C-alpha cells in the first residue's frame, strides 16, 4: 500500500500539536499532498523550531488552542470540520513528567479525552482519528528484557510519561468500543512509534537536539545512558505509517486498533553507537562524553514488533538508521548555511516519498 496523493488532495485534515517536531514534519508533508490542513496548538514548543524555520504555519489554518481547554478544542473542531484528525499534541518529555506529573496527565490523558469528545460532538464528518501515543506505553517485562513489544502486550508505565501514554491508549479504546459505534461513525486507531530522529528537533532531552546545541556551543554532548538500546528511526518513517493508517481507517473499520511503527532489528542500536556515527558524519565540532549524573530510571532496551503494519498496511521503514543520520547532517548543515528550510525540508520529504 502506498500513500495515495489523490486521497489527501483537498482532504480536510486537523493535526493537534502541529508546531512540535513530528507535527511540523507531518504538516509539511500534508501540505505537499494538497490537503486542506488545520493545526491546533498554543505555539512553538522550542526556540528555534522546525515549525518556525520551515514557515509551517504559512500553508495551513491555525488555532491557538491548548488541548486541555475542552471548549476551545470543541470550537476548533467545529470550525475546521475535518474528515481526518491526527492527534499528536503531548507533553513528550519523560524527565519533565517527573517534575510536572499532573501537567503530563492533563495534557496526555485529558487532552486525548477532549479531542475525542470534540470529535464526538462535532458534525458527523470525521471519518478517521489517529491517536499517537508511544512505544513506552508497554509494561516493562524484566523476565524478557530484550522483548520486542507487539500490540497485544500488556500496557503499563513506571513513570508519569509512560503511564500517561498507556492511559491515552485506554481512553482511545473506550471511545472506539462504546462511543463511536456504527459503520459511518468516526473510527479510532492508535499509533505507537519508536525513538524518532530527524532534522529540526530542538526538544528537551532529545539526542539530536542535544547534538545541535553542542555544535552551536562547541561543548560535547553529555549522555546519561550510552549503553541503552533504542529503536531509532527517521521521523518520516513513522509519519508515513500514520498517513497509511489514516487512509485505510477512512475506508474500513477493520484497522481501528493499535499499531506499532518501529524500525527493523538492525536499527535497534545503543546511544553510543548512534553518537559515534553522527560525530563521524559531522566531523570537527561535534563530540560526546558520558554524563555520570544520576538520571531517571529508564529501560535498558526498547524495541517494537511492527510486523502487523508491514503485513496489513504495507508499511515499511524506508530509511535505515545510517541513511537517517546522513539526512540529519544534511539538514543541519543547510540550516547553519542559511538555506530556505521550508524548501529544503520539502525536498527531503520528496526524496523519501
Interval 248-254 mean pLDDT: 95
Picking from 130-139, 176-185, 210-219, 291-300, which range would have the lowest pLDDT averaged per residue? 291-300
Does residue 96 lie in a domain region?
A: yes
Per-residue confidence (pLDDT) for residue 190, from 0 to 100? 99
Local confidence band at 294 (pLDDT 50, 70, 90 cut-offs): low
pLDDT cut 90: percent of the chain above it? 77
The pLDDT-based confidence of 155 (bands split at 50, 70, 90) is very high
Q: What percent of the chain has pLDDT over 70?
A: 95
pLDDT band at residue 163 using 50, 70 and 90 as cut-offs: very high
* pLDDT score at 145: 67
pLDDT above 80 (res 147):
yes
d(CA 179, CA 251): 19
Lowest-pLDDT choice from 46-55, 221-230, 344-353: 221-230
How many residues in total does the chain contain? Answer: 353
- In-domain check, residue 335: yes
Do the beta carbons of residue 83 and residue 12 sit within 8 Å? yes
* Residue 121, CA atoms < 13 Å, CB-side half-sphere: 16
- pLDDT tens digits for 191-210? 999 899 999 999 888 888 88
Full DSSP string of 268-298: EEEHHHHHHHHHHHH-TT--EEE--S-----
pLDDT digits (tens, 9 = 90+) for 221-248: 888 888 888 899 999 999 999 999 999 9
Residue 225 has a pLDDT of: 83
What gap in Å lies between CA 310 and CA 2, rounded to an integer? 12
Q: Cβ(15)–Cβ(42) under 8 Å?
A: no
Query: Would you say residue 231 lies in a domain?
Result: yes
Number of domains present in the structure of the chain: 1
Segment 50-58 mean pLDDT: 97
User: Has residue 46 got a pLDDT over 80?
Assistant: yes
Question: Does any domain span residue 223?
Answer: yes
pLDDT at 228: 87
Nearest CA among 116, 91, 118 for reference residue 102: 91
Taking the C-alpha atoms of 246, 128, 257 and 182 in order, what is their torsion angle to the nearest 10 degrees?
Answer: -140
Can you tell me the distance from the alpha carbon of 97 to that of 209, in angstroms, rounded to the nearest whole number?
19
Residue 111, in any domain of the structure: yes
Mean pLDDT, range 280-288, rounded to an integer: 89
Say what the pLDDT of residue 348 is: 98
Peptide bond preceding 48: is omega within 30 degrees of 0, i.e. cis? yes
Whether 298 has a pLDDT exceeding 70, the answer reads: no
Does 351 fall in a domain? no
In a domain, 148, yes or no: yes
CB atoms within 10 A of CB 140: 20
Task: Read off the pLDDT of each residue in 154-168 and give the average, rounded to a whole number.
Answer: 96
If you write DSSP's letter for every residue of 136-177 in order, what string do you get? GGBPP-TTSTT--B-TTSPB--SSHHHHHHHHHHHHHHHIII
pLDDT (0 to 100) of residue 295: 60
Task: Judge whether residue 297 has pLDDT over 70.
Answer: no
Is the pLDDT reported for residue 318 higher than 70? yes
CATH of the domain at 17: 3.40.50.720
- The Cα–Cα gap between 270 and 226 comes to 7
In a domain, 353, yes or no: no
* Lookup: cell for 321: 538508521
Domain that holds residue 194: 5-346
Q: By three-state DSSP, how is residue 197 classified?
A: strand
Query: Residues 4-27: what's their mean pLDDT?
Result: 98
Q: Is the pLDDT of residue 352 over 70?
A: yes
Amino acid at each position: 500500500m502506498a500513500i495515495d496523493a489523490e486521497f489527501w488532495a483537498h482532504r480536510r485534515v486537523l493535526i493537534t500539536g502541529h508546531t512540535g517536531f513530528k507535527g511540523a514534519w507531518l504538516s509539511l508533508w500534508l501540505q505537499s499532498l494538497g490537503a486542506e490542513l488545520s493545526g491546533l496548538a498554543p505555539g512553538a514548543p522550542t526556540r528555534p523550531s522546525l515549525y518556525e524555520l520551515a514557515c509551517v504555519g504559512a500553508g495551513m489554518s491555525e488555532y491557538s488552542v491548548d488541548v486541555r481547554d475542552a471548549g476551545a478544542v470543541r470550537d476548533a473542531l467545529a470550525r475546521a470540520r475535518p474528515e481526518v484528525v491526527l492527534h499528536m499534541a503531548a507533553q513528550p518529555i519523560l524527565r519533565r513528567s517527573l517534575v510536572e506529573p499532573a501537567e503530563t496527565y492533563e495534557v496526555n490523558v485529558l487532552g486525548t479525552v477532549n479531542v475525542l469528545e470534540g470529535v464526538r460532538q462535532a458534525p458527523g464528518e470525521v471519518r478517521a482519528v489517529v491517536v499517537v501515543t508511544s512505544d513506552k506505553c508497554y509494561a516493562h517485562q524484566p523476565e524478557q528484557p530484550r522483548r520486542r513489544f507487539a500490540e497485544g502486550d500488556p500496557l503499563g508505565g513506571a513513570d508519569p510519561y509512560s503511564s500517561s501514554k498507556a492511559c491515552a491508549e485506554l481512553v482511545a479504546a473506550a471511545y472506539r468500543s462504546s462511543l463511536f459505534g456504527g459503520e459511518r461513525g468516526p473510527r479510532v486507531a492508535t499509533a505507537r512509534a519508536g525513538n524518532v530522529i530527524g532534522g529540526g528537533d530542538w526538544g528537551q532531552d532529545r539526542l539530536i537536539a542535544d547534538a545541535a546545541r553542542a555544535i552551536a556551543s562547541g561543548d560535547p554532548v553529555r549522555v546519561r545512558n550510552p549503553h541503552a538500546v533504542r529503536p531509532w528511526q527517521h521521523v518520516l518513517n513513522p509519519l508515513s505509517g500514520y498517513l497509511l493508517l489514516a487512509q485505510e481507517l477512512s475506508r474500513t473499520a477493520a484497522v481501528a486498533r493499535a499499531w506499532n511503527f518501529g524500525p527493523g532489528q538492525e536499527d535497534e542500536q545503543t546511544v553510543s553507537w548512534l553518537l559515534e556515527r553522527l560525530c563521524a558524519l559531522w566531523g570537527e565540532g561535534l563530540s560526546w562524553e558520558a554524563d555520570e549524573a544520576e538520571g531517571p530510571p529508564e529501560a535498558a532496551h526498547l524495541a517494537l514488533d511492527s510486523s502487523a503494519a508491514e503485513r496489513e498496511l504495507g508499511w515499511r521503514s524506508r530509511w535505515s538508521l545510517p541513511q537517517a543520520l546522513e539526512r540529519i547532517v544534511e539538514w543541519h548543515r543547510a540550516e547553519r548555511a542559511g538555506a530556505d528550510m521550508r524548501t529544503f525540508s520539502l525536498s527531503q520529504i520528496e526524496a523519501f516519498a
